Amino acid sequence: MEKSVEFIKRNYSPLVLAYLGDSYYETLAREFVISDGDCLVSKLNESIKKIITAVSQSRIVDILIPILNETELWFYKSGRNSGGSRHPKSAEAVQYRRATGLECLFGYLYLSGNQERARELFNYAISGAFADGE
């Protein structure tokens, strides 16, 4: 299902890509939290919240920005800049927009067939975000 960058830019709004990217990012996060083996679902839910909230996604953006290529950065910025004025009470508006940008990036990577790059970015970000033992 590989699609060109131009096809994606022309046919999908950043918010649609973020919608898809949210699901894909959460799937990667769920795979990550179960990678140590079987455990209680309540523990999994605690762990996943540290990765998928707008606040944590905003923090992950800081880790990823320096290693994104030009196209990836374009999709991130498109998603970040497309948000409205609404955001959850658990995050600042800027954190929510940055999280939307991250989700747009992952939606683009998924839709363009770049799942390997998405996993690479996810693993890099997670290792950086939790290097201090959080």
Residues involved in catalysis:
22
CA distance linking residue 61 with residue 72, whole number of Å: 12
DSSP one-letter code for 80: H
DSSP 13: -
Please state at what angle helix 70-81 crosses helix 93-111, rounded to 10 degrees. Answer: 130
CA dist 97 and 78 (Å) reads: 10
Q: Residue 8 has which token pair? A: 């994606």
**Backbone dihedral region of 83: left (phi > 0), alpha (psi from -120 to 50 degrees) or beta?**
beta
